[in-house]
Structure 1
Amino acid sequence: MFLLKEDVKVKLYIVVPCYNEEEVLPETSSRLQEKMQFLMQNQQISENSHVIFVDDGSKDKTWAMIEELHHRNSLFSGIKLSKNRGHQNALLAGLNFAAEHADAAVSMDADLQDDINAVDEMIKKYNEGCDIVYGVRSTRDKDTFFKKFTAETFYKVLRRLGGEIIYNHADYRLMSKRALKGLAEFKEVNLFLRGIVPMIGYKSDTVAYERGERFAGESKYPLKKMLSFAFEGITSLSIKPVRLIFDFGVAISGISVIVLLYFLAQYFMGNTVSGWTSLIMSIWLLGGFQLMAIGIIGEYIGKVYLETKARPRFINEVILNNDGESK
């Protein structure tokens, strides 16, 4: 007799990367504990399920609070990275740990702006056979016009450049053990998980939710960091920017030949061409474009340089789980 997938309670790990989150951790842990207990009582998940807080080299009391949560309640586990490695690497550290211990993992940010009640629907779709369930924002009405415009532009541009990305999806998703193992096969140092996960290719679906306001603390993604993250995503997933430079160069060369022929014709016809303003503007325009082109190409060369070194993406300093600590 075979058991259906929905008859087996999934061992779920919720992975929460943290960086200087001492202001939100008390409320976040309380809400997650309530949600996990609800799912256990309703037999949607196994009683061996856990919440994993990954401390990404925080400078405040975040790790001390994670240790306290772990010692007080076995529901909470913790991973401390040896130094700050960025949100994507911290998230990957938690997902890799979950791949070895859980049937499925849900990743979410510590501020819980992503509605945790969407986890119920994610588990339902997992039981229906989905390996990856993406949390997708149903609306951006609460965003400022600037943030809404730039976010939507980013998704559209990345798609046009060939990046396979889920519209209005960040890093709130459920992944099965099989999908987590597939993710571990991607070895690149330059991580952009929301672009890599769709490449895994297993059966997937989406769950719509409404994003709430941050209830405490400050956003860890100011404008400068958001722009840097967007550029990282584009250059990590697509080589089309380099091809666009080539296409633009070909177009400029063609226009230059036409202009040259025009000026030669004017010269032989005895017409005087002034053109100092247009000449100076052309020099500045082409000079700026060349510097931009060199910068973009340099970005790709830099990524290749980092990949060839094969440095570890992160190092776990401490792991807290039911078996105690490992260092």
Structure 2
Amino acid sequence: MSEAAGYVVGIVANPLAGKDVRRLTSGATPVSDAVKIGVIRRAVVGAFEGGAGQVMISGDRARLGERAVAGLDVAPGVQVFEPYGWHNGRDSQMAASEFRERGVGAVIALGGDGTQRDVAKGWRDVPLVPLAVGTNNVFPLQMEATVAGFAAGAVASNQLAAADVTSRSKIIDVAIEGTRHADVALVDVCLVRGAFVGARAVWDSASVSEIVAAVAEPQSVGLSAIAAAVAPVGRRDAGGVHVGLECASRDAQGIQRGRHIRAAVMPGSYSDLDIAHCEMLRFGQPVMLSGPGVLTLDGEREIVLGPRQRATVTVNPDGPQLIDVGAAVAMAQRRRYPFGPATAGR
């Protein structure tokens, strides 16, 4: 049995989350290191309160973990990893993989959709509390880190059966024709026009030609909001949606053809788009996306497709195990503080 079996909470903190180009080209405010340090600190306190015996934190050159636990009474029970040296999403992926190897019982990931995807790449079925600290926050949730940590601690310490307070999220598998390259996304995979990765974040929605989304909720901001405008798909709904876009076109009388929409593709910004087609997808139903173009995974340019090169994109039901924080906290508290008819009034 591994050294951490069942009693450790892992924390992945991405120092780059919430600082990409979309923050500069929209009305959103960058997420400072000070904010992330406070979130980590509160999550650590909550994890030990929830029952964790140890907390492991991913390392980074900003030393977020070390700064977060400085002065805490529980600091001796915290291990901060040395940075892996990539200074990008691969660090989060490698931390998640190491957590899995060490038998960590639950993981808290601080970041946006991209960070959560990196964690899933390192540990596909990770028992996860995804905290929203990024630019696009479709997959992660807005919640107080203190109770998020408590829930993770309760699950990691085996006070609760994970099956009682977790549910499997969806995941999108991507395979590139003619290569061994395989990748994943948690929210959406998009084909955008162009031939270069360049700035990884997509801020020009006019370049998007196709979207495959596992989560397309009307309250979300990002590329998945385009799909949500015509075919909403909830995070608990089976399957996904495939949407094709076209450049705005007009007939001989100057009347615009196709289904015109406006969607919030960035914080503080709406874009005009035209929908060419829309198809609901079953789990396991493949969609072929053909180059030339660039595939974006959860909002970030990742894979260049050459002319006539194709990618097979499939929405599947076997992604990370999401911890229901409210349910976990409630169940743990009921077990600690039973209060029923026999004790009422005493």
User: Which is higher, the Rg of structure 1 or of structure 2?
Assistant: 1
Indicate the structure with greater helix content: 1
More strand by percentage? 2
Query: Normalising by the residue count of structure 2, what TM-score does the alignment of the two structures yield?
Result: 0.35
TM-score normalized with structure 1 length: 0.36
- Whose relative contact order is higher, 1 or 2, with alpha carbons under 8 Å and at least 6 apart? 1
